Amino acid sequence: TEDGGDGATVILQGHVDVVPPGDLEQWEGDPFVPRVTGDTVHGRGACDMKAGLTAHLAALAAIRASGVRLRGRVAVHFVVGEEDGGLGAFGTLRRGHTGDACVIAEPTAGTLVTANAGALTFRLDVPGRSAHASSRDEGVSAVDAYLPVHRALARLEAERNTDPDPLMAEYPIPYALSVGTLRSGDWASSVPDLLVAEGRLGVRLDEDPAVARAALERCVAEACAADPWLRAHPVTVTWPGGRFASGRLPAGDPLRDTVADAHAAANAGVRVRERGAPYGSDLRLYTAAGIPTLQYGPGDIRHGHSVRERVTLPEIVEVTRTLVLTVLRTVNTK
């Protein structure tokens, strides 16, 4: 914390954890060793979000080096666990580390993200009946039993993405419902008696996560009721893993214009575009704690979590300049 007095406190926030690299053979070199080509840095976590952390630290260093005396305080919250639900941010806030405004340097590709959709992880246990594959008619394949449920989930996704919030309208699927893993069977010549599907349910802006959960559970129950096997052997729905509510910067909060004006001042008058994001982040924890929060950082989230992950150095410099002006205009100077 940089403590300058009794003025406002601005939080520079980011997460230090990253997702696994996946198939190492698809990377050009070690994903955890930065690879620089021209003005671009490649590697796991480059944009999500080591670049944002770098911009925060560089902004703080620039303010220190300038000799400016602050009326308020700058707090740096670098947390763990964002990728799996936000326990790091939750614990930080729970311990009383608070502020009057917060900028999260998640990758926003030159835009201002003032709202996040939420996301919930679900698990479906689909029962079957085992049998020898040569007499599969004696059994019920859990794979076959799952298919009508999968089709029902696709219909639910379409229903939940009609008439999205204007901040989300640019996305083809603002609130995605995606099945990420399927596991079934333990022997090639056996009829599988269980299929486990795990996926992600998008939570709409301002939607209670309990309402989203109920919608998926109702969808699965209706699919089971329409199927002779599943009617007698219903799918079990559970909710393990990450849980992200939606969140947004309150309408009319001055932080939006402060960052937008700082971006314009640091970038030859170019105005930044405001939008929402279809994924969850720590933003919803800070806004739920009463701290006006938005996301503004280097990199493009479309490159995150992939073997293409990268960020350019000019983006980091651009964001750093904007952050410096944002801090100075938020906490004021002596």
Assess whether 198 and 210 both reside in one domain: yes
Assess whether 126 and 229 both reside in one domain: yes
Task: Pick the catalytic residue from 48, 82, 227, 282.
Answer: 82
Enumerate helices (H) and strands (E) in the chain, giving the number of each: 8, 18
Q: What pLDDT is stored for residue 256 in this prediction?
A: 97
User: Residues 84-88: what's their mean pLDDT?
Assistant: 89
Task: Pick the catalytic residue from 2, 17, 144, 165.
Answer: 17
Assess whether 142 and 106 both reside in one domain: no
Assess whether 101 and 127 both reside in one domain: no
Q: Which of 82-91, 123-132, 154-163, 210-219 has the lowest mean pLDDT?
A: 82-91
Give the CATH number of the domain where residue 87 resides: 3.40.630.10
CA 113 – CA 127 distance, rounded (Å): 42
Sign of torsion over alpha carbons 286, 292, 295, 296: negative
CA 275 – CA 297 distance, rounded (Å): 13
Q: Which of 3-12, 67-76, 131-140 has the lowest mean pLDDT?
A: 3-12
Assess whether 261 and 325 both reside in one domain: yes
Residue 259 clears pLDDT 60, i.e. is over it: yes
Assess whether 163 and 212 both reside in one domain: yes
Alpha helical stretches, state H, the chain: 51-66, 87-94, 142-160, 209-225, 228-232, 254-266, 283-288, 313-331
Assess whether 251 and 231 both reside in one domain: no
Where in the sequence is the domain holding 188, given as residue range(s)?
118-244
- Assign residue 5 a region: left if phi > 0, alpha if psi is -120 to 50, beta otherwise? left
Assess whether 139 and 217 both reside in one domain: yes
82 given a catalytic annotation: yes
17 given a catalytic annotation: yes
Last residue of a domain, one of 244, 266, 301: 244
Last residue of a domain, one of 197, 228, 244: 244
Assess whether 215 and 297 both reside in one domain: no
Assess whether 239 and 253 both reside in one domain: no
* pLDDT above 90 as % of the chain: 93
Assess whether 216 and 134 both reside in one domain: yes
Q: What pLDDT is stored for residue 332 in this prediction?
A: 76
Q: Report the DSSP beta bridge partners of residue 312.
A: 40
Between 40 and 83, the more confident residue is: 40
- Decide if 280 contacts 209 (C-beta within 8 A): no
Total of domains in the chain: 2
Kindly state the greatest CA–CA separation across the chain.
83
Does the bond joining 49 to the residue before it have cis omega, within 30 degrees of 0?
yes
CB atoms within 10 A of CB 61: 12
pLDDT in tens, 237-251: 999 977 889 999 999
User: Residues 117-128: what's their mean pLDDT?
Assistant: 97
Last residue of a domain, one of 206, 223, 244: 244
Give the CATH number of the domain where residue 185 resides: 3.30.70.360
Residue 189 CA, distance from chain mean position: 40
CB atoms within 10 A of CB 218: 11
Assess whether 83 and 12 both reside in one domain: yes
Average pLDDT, the chain: 95
Q: What pLDDT is stored for residue 27 in this prediction?
A: 97
Q: What pLDDT is stored for residue 6 in this prediction?
A: 75
Q: What pLDDT is stored for residue 4 in this prediction?
A: 61
